Amino acid sequence: MANELIQTEFAEIMQKSYIDYAMSVIVARALPDVRDGLKPVQRRTLYDMYELGIRWDKPYRKSARIVGDTMGKYHPHGDSSIYGALVVLAQDFKMGQPLVDGHGNFGSIEGDGAAAMRYTEARLQKLTQEAFLSDLDKGVVEFVPNFDETEKEPSVLPARIPNLLVNGSEGIAVGMATSIPPHNLGEVIDATIALIRDHSLTNEDLMQYIKGPDFPTGGIVVNEKELAHIYATGTGKIRIRGKVEVEKVPRSDKKRIVITQIPYTMIGAGIGKFLNDVAALADSRIGSDISDISNQSSKEGIRIVLELRKGADEEYIKKLLYKKTRLEDTFGVNMLAVSDGRPETLSLHDILEAHIDFQFEIATKKYRSMLDRELEKKEIQEGLIRAVDVIDLIIEILRGSKDRAMAKDCLVTGNTEGIRFKTKKSKTEASRLRFTQAQATAILEMRLYKLIGLEIDALTAEYEDTLKKIDTYTDILNNYSSMANVIILQLEEYRDSYARERRTRICDEDEVVLEVKKAEAYPCVLLVDRFGYARTVDEAVYEKNKEAADEENRIIIHCMSDSRLCVFTDTGKVHVLKVEKVPHGKFRDKGTPIDNLCNYDSASETFLAIRDLEVVKNQKLIFVTKNGYIKMVEGTEFDVSKLTVAGTKLEENDRLLCVHEAHFQAGCVLVTKNSMVLRIQEDEIPLQKKNARGVIGIRLADGDEVSQVFFLEDGAQTEAEINGRNVSLNRLKVAARGGKGSKIRK
């Protein structure tokens, strides 16, 4: 058989393959179903627990057993994803209504991970068993083959509560993500009941029942006016704050701020980051009124205590916490879920309507199944009651038949051939019998004790009960109001049994406006070591450690805490650095690299000097480049609002070599790599703008460059080693700027 080549566009194959992959992730992994509010891994885990018999009233079972069974039967995507889902289903600080009852270490609100699955145990919650897994035997949902077609699993669980809203959901798919906040079970059920009774209700009407999200961690939602738009569109941002209380310290004039509820977004590592942020504020001048921080949280709840100094403004501290930390945060809402097999962004009304349609669908299947069972039971009961009236004839048929098939055929069709009767009358009566197949089977299997009078009365009473059930089920199936009442009654039972008080307060509050109190300036000393790490210390600390500080640090500047510093680099740039951004602490603190404190890039530039801008403004600065250019610039030119400005203009292959204050009297000496020396006077250096290149200070030969610059003072001898010789620079002759200079020979 010849090989057949099929030519196609590579782009088309890639597009189709990627779309198939994306839809698989979206529908089968990352997004919840609007009907039961569960992702596939959650659904499979709960169903597997139900199949294993790990019910709410049974002993706990090892999580490893649940994970292994789920992975082997339904979810072959690794044990970590299954155990992760199981852990979240058991965490009461993440779920509005936990669906799994966990026993052991299932993690904490502060970000501690759960213990390994071999240590923890779990079982279903009572609510899960009643509201998610009941009636599976009544064919209310479709069962589909598992991944290897050896088992059957439900395509969706028959959830009786709007779980997508109650527990919310978070997931990242391909090109889309879902983020639905949890809500209060009682409010959601009230809204569902209201919509069942009146389908004309709008989103605004439903919000009379559902005030807003109800996070397990409590907190305060402060943008109530925006909730209507969020619930109408399915997208938006919810601003949520932690709950803050002010307590008076016993036997003291001091106060403390106590945080008893945190934003939902702070769960986990967010608490640790919050404590670090508060500690940083306390170390800074704007939050110096915070004297101590302690996390006193326990199983009873969150309690983070901030001790304040005497006379502190607690309202200012609260605003500072809201503005500078995650104590006020945003929860991004994107109510995306799988509806009718495709991902859709749904409104509040859409979610409840989809849930109600699903309730009527499963209720119809349930009561249709129950009606069919009762009709089968009615058929058999009628046959048994009729059989009791002719029991002597039936016994005669059974005694006269050669086998079971002959007796059953007589009961169903009236065929008496081959059966021995005592009288012709009995044979004639037998030929008139017309039981159904099911009735005949029941008669043949009936035990003799059923002929007792009380048993016959019980059979009659059971038949009457069956007739009532048939009437009830028929009414439910044929009348919308009857089915609606059944669904509502069930919802009310769940509400009465499992609803709890709202934890999250909903209100409207203005955005926090923080007027940062300007800290009183104080004198300090900037220390920069040879590795470029900067820090500030108090002057007293510096004086106490002066000898060690002078020896270990490359730069030492006395300044004020509110000063601005100019960082000059060899690229000709000047970066402005605020002293308040430099970490202030103890003498032996490591500090922070300068490139982390300003726009200075240590990978492409090297800092040459750091000057206090307040001092620089009253000076002139000398700039010297490696290519021999020199100029003088007024210090006021660097007093700008920008964080980075040009200090001098450079040629493509040039670098700034030196920045120095213009306060020398005896001139400056330029020394080149080839040992050429030129001494010029200060008045030879022109005053130019910071964007100018400068003028030629020394004329260089090919391949030569300026390597050193010395500034001379009257009455002070300056010596330097040049080309292996000690040269007294003060004795050099003064020359004109722009000359080649003199050669220093060995």
Per-residue b/e over 558-587, b at no fewer than 16 CB within 10 Å?
ebebebbbbbbbbbbbbbbbebbebbbeeb
How many beta carbons lie within 10 A of that of residue 154, not counting itself?
20
Integer Cα distance of 5 and 23 in angstroms: 29
Integer Cα distance of 594 and 533 in angstroms: 6
Reduced to 3 states (helix: H, G, I; strand: E, B; else coil), residue 635 is helix
Structure tokens at 262: 């945190």
What lies within 8 Å, CB to CB, of 320 at 6+ separation is: 281, 286, 287, 514, 516
3-state secondary structure 335-390: CEEEECCEEEECCHHHHHHHHHHHHHHHHHHHHHHHHHHHHHHHHHHHHHHHHHHC
DSSP H helices in 390-434: 391-400, 404-413, 424-430
Integer Cα distance of 718 and 152 in angstroms: 94
How many beta carbons lie within 10 A of that of residue 642, not counting itself?
11
Structure tokens at 98: 């936990």
Angle at which helices 391-400 and 348-389 cross, to 10°: 80
Determine which helix (DSSP H) or strand (DSSP E) holds 676, and give its type and residue range: strand 676-680
Residue 725, strand partner residues: 722
φ, ψ of residue 650 to 5 degrees: the values are -120, 150
DSSP H helices in 138-268: 163-166, 185-197, 203-206, 227-233
Determine which helix (DSSP H) or strand (DSSP E) holds 523, and give its type and residue range: strand 523-529
User: Which residue is associated with the tokens 């609606």?
Assistant: 484
Length of the chain counted residue by residue? 746
Closest CA to 38 of 349, 338, 333, 351: 338
Integer Cα distance of 406 and 439 in angstroms: 15
Query: Is 119 known to be catalytic?
Result: yes
3-state secondary structure 425-474: HHHHHHCCCCCCHHHHHHHHHCCHHHHCHHHHHHHHHHHHHHHHHHHHHH
What lies within 8 Å, CB to CB, of 173 at 6+ separation is: 22, 25, 26, 29, 30, 31, 343
Integer Cα distance of 574 and 487 in angstroms: 73
3-state secondary structure 35-82: CCCCCHHHHHHHHHHHHCCCCCCCCCEEHHHHHHHHHHHCCCCCHHHH
User: Which candidate in 119, 231, 316, 367 is catalytic?
Assistant: 119
Catalytic residue positions, numbered: 119
